[in-house]
Amino acid sequence: MATGVKRAFKYRFYPTNAQAAELSRTFGCVRKVYNLALAARTEAWTLRAERITYNATSAMLTAWKKTEELAYLGDVSSVPLQQALRHLQTAFTHFFAKWAKYPRFKSRKKSRKSAEYTTSAFRFRDGELTLAKMTQPLDIVWSRPLPEGAQPSTVTVSQDAAGRWFVSLLVEDPGIRALPATDTAVGVDAGLDHLLTLSSGEKITNPRHERKDRARLAKAQRELSRKAKGDGANRAKARRKVARIHARIADRRRDHLQKLTTRLVRENQTIVIEDLTVRNLLKNGRLARAISDAAWSEFRSMLEYKAQWCGREVIAVDRWFPSSKLCSACGRLQARMPLHVRTWTCDCGVTHDRDGNAAKNLLAAGLAVSACGAGVRPQRSTPGGQSATKQETLQREP
């Protein structure tokens, strides 16, 4: 892979009171401009069937700043406001391409607080980052070094629900390059009892991060529910306590997945996974919490972008492929395979671990796709009865 891959490095920082106030004003203005532009574009299309472009909304922004009501928009850097309009344009592009739903208005309480600065709105010198409208550099905790000689092209500042401040620097990383090719391949079956089962027989434990903090989270949520609704300080304090627990869970989950996906990409040339529709699986009320905690979608996302960086291949086998019910030894398809059955014996005499057998079948199917480009579609029914894949079984399980 060619050098110069763009990569974001995220760090925590601790703003002064003045910097926090300036960034909070910027977040509010970014949200306001985004909502005004979205309302204008929606109204133009609804009433006049007219499509408003980014250039038109940029001209609107100039006019808004000249009004008495919105004059405060001129008190913050104009770059994050222009970037908000560009993000809205991207959202509409994805909508018209049918990649996403119609853009939604940003909420003061629920939407992510962030502002994006381009090179004209920040200065990065000698390891110090200073944003527009600020006189002092940010107090950043450099938890890992940037690539030598790196110069950020974009800086994004954000604040999470727990009140923590983060800055993300987008730089070119020459250290990202293709790894030496190998002949190793692995099938990966995602599950709940074990987070992953590999075709090699290895099983990776599911850490269940949410379950470990469930009691603390429930207690904090009960305390929050007892606070009077509104903008009171006590309710805000209780809300931040709940958010900190959620952040702790998410941080540990993300760290585990980062290490796991890095290992899989480094050790294998080809990685075969199952193309699960997690959104549909979450409709199972009994398993939704466990599936969310397993973060299968996040695992796949990390695996795919790291594989692209390192010159590896990730193959997603069709979600209807009956990996759990197909004997990896003789190829016989079982009529039924309820979710509670963890081991089973085929008519050929081979006893299978459910997840290990599924991982082997995924690997074989994925290699077949890689070799000839054939689709992987299962037999939807057999003389012995209607087939049901893991996807169907999880959705039907009460």
- The partner residues of 313 in beta bridges, in order of sequence, read 270
Of 173, 189, 210, 293, which residue is the catalytic one?
189
Of 22, 173, 274, 293, which residue is the catalytic one?
274
Instruction: Please state, in angstroms and rounded to a whole number, the distance separating the CA atoms of residues 14 and 130.
Output: 13
Query: What percent of the residues of the chain are helix, what percent strand, and what percent coil, each to the nearest 5?
Result: 45, 20, 35
For 117, which DSSP code? Answer: E
DSSP helix/strand/coil, 291: helix
210 counts as catalytic: no
Instruction: Please state, in angstroms and rounded to a whole number, the distance separating the CA atoms of residues 225 and 55.
Output: 45
Q: How far is CA 274 from the centre of its chain?
A: 18
Taking CA 330 as the corner, what is the angle to CA 335 and CA 385, rounded to the nearest 5 degrees?
10
Q: How far is CA 154 from the centre of its chain?
A: 20
Q: How far is CA 27 from the centre of its chain?
A: 22
Instruction: Please state, in angstroms and rounded to a whole number, the distance separating the CA atoms of residues 80 and 121.
Output: 9
318 counts as catalytic: no
Task: Give Cβ neighbours of residue 13 (< 8 Å, ≥ 6 apart).
Answer: 138, 139, 140, 141, 165, 166, 167
Pick the closest to residue 362 from 309, 395, 298, 315 (CA basis): 315
Q: How far is CA 229 from the centre of its chain?
A: 31
213 counts as catalytic: no
DSSP E strands in the chain: the ranges are 5-13, 113-118, 122-125, 128-131, 140-141, 154-159, 165-173, 185-190, 194-198, 203-205, 270-274, 313-317, 343-345, 351-353, 381-382, 385-386
For the annotated catalytic residues, the residue numbers are: 189, 274, 355
